[in-house]
Every structure is written in C-alpha cells, then in structure tokens.
Amino acid sequence: MLNKKKSFKLAKFYNWLIFSLVNPRIKLLIDKYANGIILDIGCGEKPYRNFTLNSGIKHIGIDHIESLHNRLHVDVVSNAYGLPFKENTFNFILCTYVLEHLEEPAKSIKEALRVLKSNAYAVYVVPFFWHLHEEPRDFFRYSIHGLQYLFEKNGFVVVDIIPVSGFIVTFTQEMCYYLLRFRAGGIFNPLWWLIPPFLLFIQLVSYFLNKIDHSTEFSIEYIAVVRKR
Ligand SMILES: C[S@@+](CC[C@H](N)C(=O)[O-])C[C@H]1O[C@@H](n2cnc3c(N)ncnc32)[C@H](O)[C@@H]1O
C-alpha cells in the first residue's frame, strides 16, 4: 500500500523548500486538469503517483533505459522521443524535471503533443537556476521566454508559465545543496549533526519570506501549463 508520505519522497531536509512550494501547485493542477489516463514522462520514481490515487485516474509512468532511478514504479520503459502509444491517447501529461535532461527537447514536446488528446493539458516543471545533476545527461536551463517559444513553436497553446520563487528561495535552496558537502565523513564530523537543523531553519524562514519576495526574475524554476488545440 502506498502512503501519503511517499508522494513527498522527493522532499529531504535539504530540499524541503522547493518541494513545499512546487508539490501543492502540482496537486492543484492535477486536480484541475487531469482525468482519464495521464502520462508521466521521465517519471523516475513517480513521486506524484499518490496525487492520483483513489481518483479513478490511471497514472502511467515512462522512463528510459538509462534512468539512474529505482525503476520500481516505471510502467513502460521508453524514450521520451518515441512514445509507444497511439495519437490522442492521454487526457493529461505530467513531465517534472525532465526537459533539462533532453538533448532534443523539441522532439520530445512534439511527441507529447501527438499522444495527448485535443484540448487536454500538460504540466511541465522546469528548472531555471539549478546546479548540475544526473550528469552527464544535464543539458539545458530554461527562461520563461525560452519555454514560451519552445512550446508555441512545437504546437502547444501556452496557458501559463508560473515562476515558483524569488531570489531568496533560489539562493537558500542552492546554498542548502552546497552546504551538504561539509557533512562528509559521517557521524564523527560535528557538521554532520549541525547542518540539517540549520538547513531546515533557513528553508523555513525563506518559505515565509518568499511570500513578500516578488523578484521572480530569479525564480528557481517554472511550472509551464500548456494545452493541445
Ligand atoms: C531529475 S529526474 C526527474 C524524475 C521525476 N520526473 C521526478 O520529478 O522526480 C529526470 C528523469 O528524466 C529521465 N529521462 C532523461 N532522459 C530521458 C529520455 N530521453 N527519455 C525518457 N526519460 C528520460 C531520467 O531517467 C529521470 O528519471
């Protein structure tokens, strides 16, 4: 039995901040736009699977053979560039933190458009300021304008591109990842104990400061809501 905690599996003591800002928004968008069958492209460990539990929605996750994640929740092993589904199959597409890992993002967006039904929505979560990860398959960062161009150019209607934060969150979140390196050496290193409470404290302060920080030109990432005509 999956539990609620597992749907927030991504949130650890060093990245609670970003996921506490993004996860509730994803949940709202799924509740608003998803029904029928949804496709989670590059699902990894399918961290949002519990958002669709008991909703009657069928949540299908695809990921490619080279995934570095546990494949327990991958339903179909497939590349984002060639989805093994007929056109107009899905009522909703979710694609979180994947676009930056695709060397041919346009090709994957066209493929998502093909398998999505007309008037159905897709939600992409895409970093703008984020350190290198899952190397060497980490290719791009996207601005709000780049995302608008990419989705329109490849046939989607852009409904909204939501900046997730201002400068304070971006700075704090990246500092948390940076400070992790000083925990090296394990429990005999005093910083191993001291860093987690410090990170939790600065994230909590930043979470509240984000409410009055409108410097969205520094947004750590964007949530793009797009629709097929
Ligand atoms: C940062 S992880 C995000 C995973 C998940 N969407 C999440 O939000 O936790 C990036 C995912 O994209 C997948 N990926 C990268 N290139 C891909 C490709 N060409 N086709 C399908 N999946 C791909 C990776 O295997 C990985 O699971």
pLDDT by residue (tens digit) across 167-213? 999 999 999 999 999 999 999 999 999 999 999 999 999 999 999 99
Sheet holding 221-228: strands in order across?
76-77, 58-63, 37-41, 90-96, 116-127, 221-228, 156-163
166 CA → ligand 1 middle, Å: 26
Q: Probe ligand 1: pick from 48, 64, 177, max atoms within 8 Å of CB? A: 64
Model pLDDT, residue 3: 41
Q: Which atom of ligand 1 is nearest to the CA of 80?
A: 20
Q: Which residues of 128-158 are buried (b: 16+ CB within 10 A; e: fewer)?
A: bbbeeeeeeeeeeebebebbbebbeebebee
Model confidence at 6, pLDDT cuts 50, 70, 90, reads: very low
66 CA → ligand 1 middle, Å: 9
Closest protein CA for atom 8 of ligand 1: 96
108 CA → ligand 1 middle, Å: 12
For the chain, how far is it from start to end, CA to CA, in angstroms?
38
Express each pLDDT in 114-146 by its tens digit.
999 999 999 999 999 999 999 999 999 999 999
Q: Probe ligand 1: pick from 98, 100, 130, max atoms within 8 Å of CB? A: 98
**CATH fold for the domain made of 4-166+216-228:** Rossmann fold (3.40.50)
Contact criterion met (CB below 8 Å) for 95 and 106: no
Model pLDDT, residue 8: 46
